[in-house]
A and B are shown apart, each in its own frame.
Chain A
Amino acid sequence: MQINRKEFLKKAGIAGASLIAGGVLYSLFKGDDIITAVVESSAQTKWAMLIDVKKCAGKPDCSACMTACHKGHNVPAIDDIRREIKWIWKADFGNVFPEHTSEYMDVAVRSQKVIVACNQCDNPPCVRVCPVGATWKRADGIVMMDHHRCIGCRYCMAACPYGSRSFNWKDPRKILSGNDIRVEYPVRTKGVVEKCNFCAERIDVGEMPLCVEACSEGAILFGNVADPESDIRRALAGKYVLRRKAELGTNPEIYYLV
């Protein structure tokens, strides 16, 4: 068979292009190895929370958990909704669980307050997007923040489907008046992102998170879901519980009893 130069180049081009396309398609279907790296877990310990919405609703004016947390971690109170810093807060049932709300639901039910915080996802989207490794998942499931490394790019805030992360638009020291500052825990600076850390600094020394300790109703149960004998596992075993936007595949570790 005779082949001229033009014909040869054409065929070589087609062969090359299909090789590349094949590679691209293969890696697309094989999936991203970053995702699998985050999902896998061989943990002996996995911390989780079960929040009893009914117990909480019994005391609508209570804010003990939020006060304890924000005071303990030097979280400044900012009124401006675009600038506020939140580690744990209250939101309407209809906004927390839109997929479990119908248009015929009583306004009273729909606007019942539910405690929300960082869900400490098993498959945290914030971790996947952080370009500097300032946020990562510990072996025990806590999604940690290293404020020393945070560059304030806010990718994590865009990635989080729960709005659990806040950016420091102002120097928090200017807002926390002197006496409010708890010396033992650092404040943050302008330009870093922060969120609930499941009280890692307390868990690591064998204490319960501040919100759990502060709740007089016992509405927050905290424990190790990797241990089948733990209180939280027993509580979860026979109950119908909700998780926020579980359909996204983030695998939240905060469960709600409604």
Chain B
Amino acid sequence: MYDGTKIIPGILLFMIVLSFPVWYDRLNGSAVIPDPEVKTESKYCVMPKEYMRSNHMVLLDEWRDSVIRDGDRSKVFAGIIKYDKSLSNSCMKCHNNKKNFCDRCHERLSVNPTCWDCHNLPEEAAHAN
């Protein structure tokens, strides 16, 4: 092999640099899965937890389209209690700790939903930005 002494360390160095984000996060201790705090009176969400974790944004879009575009304001169940298909009046009524719930995941993942520009949070009507 020609110049193996240069090529092999070179490849190794390249791999190290390439994987920088992975091992940096590990060493830094910031690679933990965020732990959203579920602090609700009800035991149930509007869908199973696993579904909500991966698909709540899809569900919100479906609610939005059915409510506004189809005028379908029928209710959904969480456990045995009926809720409106509403961001402010359902999700945020139960999950009324946005900072420790929605934001904990979203900040970690740099997701910035703009919903709160318009939709209000029940407990802090005056959340001026």
Asked if A183 and B118 sit within 8 Å, CB to CB, the answer is no
Given the known interface contacts A146-B69, A200-B71, A204-B73, the answer about A181 and B118 at a Cβ–Cβ threshold of 8 Å is: no
Task: Please measure, in the bound complex, the distance between the C-alpha atom of A200 and the C-alpha atom of B121, giving whole angstroms.
Answer: 22
Find chain A residues with CB under 8 A from B69 CB.
Answer: 144, 146
Contact of B64 among A144, A148, A174, A179 (CB under 8 A): A148
Q: B118 contacts A146, CB within 8 Å?
A: no
Q: Which of A138, A181, A200, A204 contacts B126 (CB 8 A)?
A: A181
Most buried by A among B69, B89, B119, B121: B69
Smallest CB-CB separation from A136: which chain B residue? Answer: B69
Q: Report the separation of the CA atoms of residues A146 and B61 in the bound assembly, to the nearest whole angstrom.
A: 13
A contact patch SS: loop
Measured between beta carbons, the chain B residues less than 8 angstroms from A140 are 71
Expressed in whole angstroms, the minimum distance between the Cβ of B120 and any Cβ of chain A is 4
Cα of A171 to Cα of B121 in the assembled complex, Å: 17
Task: Let me know if B97 is at the binding interface, CB within 8 A.
Answer: no
Known A-B contacts A204-B71, A205-B73; the reply to A181 vs B120 at CB < 8 A is yes
Contacts of A247 in B (CB 8 A): none
B118 touches A147 (CB 8 A): yes
B118 contact from A174, A187, A201, Cβ within 8 A: A187
- Give Cα A69 to B71, complex, Å: 20
- Which residue of chain B has the shortest Cβ distance to A147 in the bound complex? B118
Chain B contact surface mostly: loop
Which among B68, B88, B114 has the greatest number of chain A C-beta atoms within 10 A? Answer: B68
Q: How large is the interface on A (under 10, 10 to 19, 20 to 34, 35 or more residues)?
A: 20 to 34
CA distance A146 to B125 in the complex (A): 23
CB neighbors of B among A171-193 (8 A):
171, 173-174, 177-179, 181, 183-184, 186-189
Asked whether A146 lies within 8 Å of B128 as measured between CB atoms, the reply is no
**Which residue of B has the minimal Cβ distance to A184?**
B89
Q: Convert B109-129 into 0s and 1s, putting 1 for each residue whose CB lies closer than 8 angstroms to a CB of A.
A: 000001001111110011011
- Contact among B64, B68, B89, B125 with A181 in the assembled complex (CB-CB below 8 Å): B125
Q: Are B117 and A189 in contact (CB under 8 A)?
A: yes
Give chain B nearest CB distance to A151 CB in angstroms: 14
In the bound complex, what is the Cα–Cα distance between A179 and B124 (angstroms)?
A: 10
Q: Which residues of B contact A200 (CB under 8 A)?
A: 71
Residues facing A in B38-94 (CB within 8 A) are: 64, 68-69, 71-73, 88-89
Is the pair A178, B128 in contact by a Cβ cutoff of 8 Å?
yes
User: A178 — which chain B residues lie within 8 A by C-beta?
Assistant: 125-126, 128
Chain A 58-72 interface 0/1 with B at a Cβ cutoff of 8 Å (1 = within): 000000000000000
A186/B119 contact (C-beta < 8 A), A138-B71, A144-B68, A200-B71 known: yes
Q: Is the CB of B122 within 8 A of A173?
A: no
List the 8 closest pairs (A to B, CB-CB), nearest first: A178-B126, A186-B118, A183-B120, A204-B73, A189-B117, A186-B119, A181-B125, A204-B71
Assuming A173-B128, A186-B118, what are 15 further A-B pairs, CB within 8 angstroms?
Answer: A144-B68, A144-B69, A148-B68, A171-B117, A173-B129, A178-B125, A178-B128, A179-B126, A183-B120, A187-B118, A189-B114, A189-B117, A189-B118, A204-B72, A205-B73
A/B interface sample: 25 pairs, CB < 8 A: A138-B71, A144-B68, A144-B69, A146-B68, A146-B69, A148-B68, A171-B117, A174-B128, A178-B126, A179-B125, A179-B126, A181-B120, A181-B125, A183-B120, A183-B121, A184-B88, A184-B120, A186-B88, A188-B118, A189-B114, A189-B117, A200-B71, A201-B73, A204-B71, A204-B72
Please report A residues at the B interface, Cβ cutoff 8 Å. 138, 140, 144, 146-148, 171, 173-174, 177-179, 181, 183-184, 186-189, 200-201, 204-205
